[in-house]
Structure 1
Amino acid sequence: MTTSPRIGYLIPEFPGQTHIFFWREIMALERMGIAVSLFSTRPPPKGLIAHKWSEEAMARTEYLGAVDAVSAAKTALSVAPTTYARDVLREGKELGRDIAMTSAAARLLWQSCRRQGVTHIHAHSCGRAALVAMLAQRMGGPSYSLTLHGPMSDYGPGQRLKWRHAKFATVITEKLNALLPAQLGADKPKRVFVQPMGVDPNVLTRDIPYQTYTGKEPLHLFSCARLNIVKGHQDLIDAVKTLRDKGIDVRLKIAGEDDDGGSGFRKVLEDKIAELDLGSAVTLLGAISAEEVRRNLLEAHLFVLASWHEPLGVAYMEAMSCEVPTIGTNAGGVPELIRHGIDGLLTEPQNPRALAAAIQLLATSPKDTMQLGKAGRARILDRFDCRKGAELIARESLDLSISKQI
């Protein structure tokens, strides 16, 4: 009797409000016949648990948990200090503290992998989760890989150490990949692949035809991202005010919650909505399920997200997959997804007037909106299907073959 190959997924604070693309990738792997064991550092705050699949995911996830100082000190000795000594000397006490804090979790991960027959761990992070995977491997555990989802500076110290021992790595954009040689030097793994996260176009599809804006009804905008200043929701609200002052009945719904579960940046946006007297025009939906996101997309005339910084943007992909004409910003890796004038429109970040102009342009150009919607879905089918990432991770984790390397 043969058993399915088994890999582990290590994701910080899983399942959070933005983690739908991880779940899609996991489901794709399991449809391929690969068993997946789920690990995380700790559960997310309750206010950020939004999806129908969240309870199933939490029930399947082994949380490695917070570790007391005594346990950390004992398990730190399980890894030869020569593994990380030069890195700590170079980077200082912050890295030393991170190693102490994660070493016990690494030991738990190693033990669980041995018990379950996990042969490889993929850390969907370059933060402390990557350090956990690295330490577990150095203790005698399975090989590991990692994914860089944004600027390396966002993921804390010890990057050379985390990447040095990885079997392979994936990076979500060409822009991030181009920085790796300078950031990692000789510690850059030999096998690094540009592989964006993706969506499931079989689920994110239309079952009702797209209806262009006629001017006889409200102009329905939808946006979806966590409530944080860098997502530019405040700029989109200003753009709505500009358009309404011109006599256009714009209605905006924003899905997402702040990292404090509703007590943080949401308050700033609520104050802004009240100050601009937009209470009847702008609705903050909070963290909603994937099914609710799709429903709102199908009801929208346009999807708009005005991020100041965006490594790539799964929310854009979801809208494009549903053939909703999409407006984004020329920020980070977004131009690798949305090609201006081909798959959607791009404006400069932090420019509410330009954003309002782009919205008005599409609202008054029904032929262009239909064309952009169809081109957007074609773009997702070609490049951003979640199965592509699952296939790469399966292939490289299990040594099924070696694809073209970067």
Structure 2
Amino acid sequence: MASSSSTNAGSSIAYLIPEFPGQTHAFFWRERARLHRLGDRVAIFTTGKPPEELRARHAWAEEAEALTRHLTPLDARALRDIASELRRAGREGLARVARAMAASEAPTPMDRVKLGGALLLGARLAAEARREGITHVHVHSCANSANVAMLANRLSGLSYSLTLHNPLDCYGPNQPEKWRHAAFAIVITRAIRDEVEEELAGALPPRLFIAPMGVDEEAFCREAAYEPYAGEGPFRVFSCSRLNPVKAVDDLVRAIAGVAEAGVDVELRIAGADDVGGQYQAQVEALAKELGVADRVHLLGSVSEDVVLGELRRSHAFALASLAEPLGVAIAEAMAVEVPVVVTDAGGVPELVTHEESGLMVPPRAPERMAEGLLRVAREPELARKLSRGGRETVLRGFHSGVSAEAIHEGVKEALGGGAPRADLRRARAAGE
């Protein structure tokens, strides 16, 4: 997407991100930096702190924590702000809120409690935005944080937008009302766009853009040219994901066992924390021991972006065995660093990876096929070089964080009356580019 808008006047906007800054939130920080380049000032709000085990460990985490404003807990000042905002809304604003809440889907008592809490947080968000001169809020979630922004809009008129990072069913009820009042929305893949247009027909905002979760292609790059495996020392495979059954790390361990059985001295290093209470990590470790590859499989835990970058630069291949992957930021990071990727074709991955051109794709739950792909990278240096080049070229064409940043920048300008719709963004939606 073109970057000519960097000369345009920016806006004072805010992100609303649940449990920020979390370990998987690097993409948001990169996108924010790109928005700053475009001239936008971006504050950050969150509905609560992340659990300690999922807190960001990146170099930027301390700065992010210092900049982030928390909507909870509700202290005395927050309660005064909420009361003031409710009074300021008057009968008209309260009537809009009442209509929105009456139209909202809240099928369980807990959903109704959450909706009431979202109204309080929406009033606080509106008050904070008014105080700081913030004119638009972009919500990086379609769960309850989207209710917060929607109710802030109904109460005060505060403009908001959404990014949908996963299929709709990941984000709970009330999707039509969350989307109906948004100025625009971003979805990360064509497949998710198609789902949204079918499921939310009649409730979509006036603008719907496709923009992937992108990579900082300037930081995620090589210091030296990629060298395929030459048969000496270990064939180094890296993976980066949460330790969660949906990531099928157990299948990846089985694939590594298959590579070792084929006579290749293979080493697997996995970055990522267990987010299901440690049970899955114990299962993975037990499986590696059972298969005789415990000395080949290394679990690094939660690590910083710098560590991930270092691991990618020293690796011969990247592998991910996910059962469901909306797009795959970790895959795109590996491609940006010119590491050949061997990944499952689950979810939106085929929109990022072209088989035999920018990576190798295999079906989910087929560790023997993943082993075959890894063996090809280990034994076919020309293929490895081709995939290395193709991956980087793919990221530069449209999977970097500047794409989503410009979509937000242009969407906010249009929403606030600062410019006509950009032709390239309209084409992106029409053509699914």
Instruction: Report the TM range for the smaller structure's normalisation.
Output: over 0.9
Which of these residues, 116, 120, 125, is aligned with residue 136 of structure 2? 120
1:94 Cα deviation from its structure 2 partner: 4.9
- Give the Cα separation in 2 of the matches to 1:278 and 1:65: 46
- Give the Cα separation in 2 of the matches to 1:13 and 1:180: 25
String of CA shifts for 1:45-69, please: whole Å, max 9, x gaps: 222221110110011001112569x
- Give the Cα separation in 2 of the matches to 1:401 and 1:24: 26
- Give the Cα separation in 2 of the matches to 1:177 and 1:150: 11
Give the letter aligned to residue 59 of structure 1.
Answer: A
Give the letter aligned to residue 193 of structure 1.
Answer: F
Name the structure 1 match of 2:307. 292
Whether 1:252 and 2:268 are equivalent positions in the alignment is: yes
Q: Does structure 2 conserve the Cα–Cα contact (< 8 Å) formed by 1:10 and 1:124?
A: yes
CA 1:264/1:106 → structure 2, altered by over 3 Å: closer, same or farther?
A: farther
Name the structure 2 match of 1:281. 296
Whether 1:269 and 2:284 are equivalent positions in the alignment is: yes
Name the structure 2 match of 1:14. 20
SS in 2 for 1:371: helix
SS in 2 for 1:328: strand
SS in 1 for 2:390: helix
Sequence identity percentage: 41
- Give the Cα separation in 2 of the matches to 1:88 and 1:371: 50
Moved more, 263-272 or 41-50: 263-272
String of CA shifts for 1:128-147, please: whole Å, max 9, x gaps: 11111111111104200001
Which of these residues, 229, 236, 246, is aligned with residue 252 of structure 2? 236
1:93 Cα deviation from its structure 2 partner: 4.0
Which aligned pairs between 1:2-401 and structure 2 lie closer than 5 A?
5-48=11-54, 49-66=56-73, 80-88=97-105, 91=107, 93-259=109-275, 263-399=278-414, 400-401=419-420
Give the letter aligned to residue 305 of structure 1.
Answer: L
Q: Does structure 1 conserve the Cα–Cα contact (< 8 Å) formed by 2:126 and 2:156?
A: yes
- Give the Cα separation in 2 of the matches to 1:104 and 1:283: 46
- Give the Cα separation in 1 of the matches to 2:22 and 2:151: 25
- Give the Cα separation in 2 of the matches to 1:86 and 1:377: 46
- Give the Cα separation in 2 of the matches to 1:35 and 1:88: 34
- Give the Cα separation in 2 of the matches to 1:159 and 1:317: 29
1:270 Cα deviation from its structure 2 partner: 2.2
Moved more, 275-284 or 339-348: 275-284
- Give the Cα separation in 2 of the matches to 1:18 and 1:116: 28
SS in 2 for 1:36: strand
1:92 Cα deviation from its structure 2 partner: 5.3
Work out the number of aligned pairs and report it. 399
SS in 2 for 1:134: helix
Q: Does structure 1 conserve the Cα–Cα contact (< 8 Å) formed by 2:316 and 2:340?
A: yes
- Give the Cα separation in 2 of the matches to 1:109 and 1:43: 16
Give the letter aligned to residue 98 of structure 1.
Answer: K
String of CA shifts for 1:281-308, please: whole Å, max 9, x gaps: 0011111111110000000000001110
String of CA shifts for 1:167-218, please: whole Å, max 9, x gaps: 0000000001111232112101121011111111111111112111111211
1:100 Cα deviation from its structure 2 partner: 1.4
- Give the Cα separation in 2 of the matches to 1:322 and 1:394: 27
- Give the Cα separation in 2 of the matches to 1:85 and 1:159: 14
SS in 1 for 2:213: coil
The two structures have a TM-score, normalised by structure 1, of 0.94
- Give the Cα separation in 1 of the matches to 2:303 and 2:393: 26
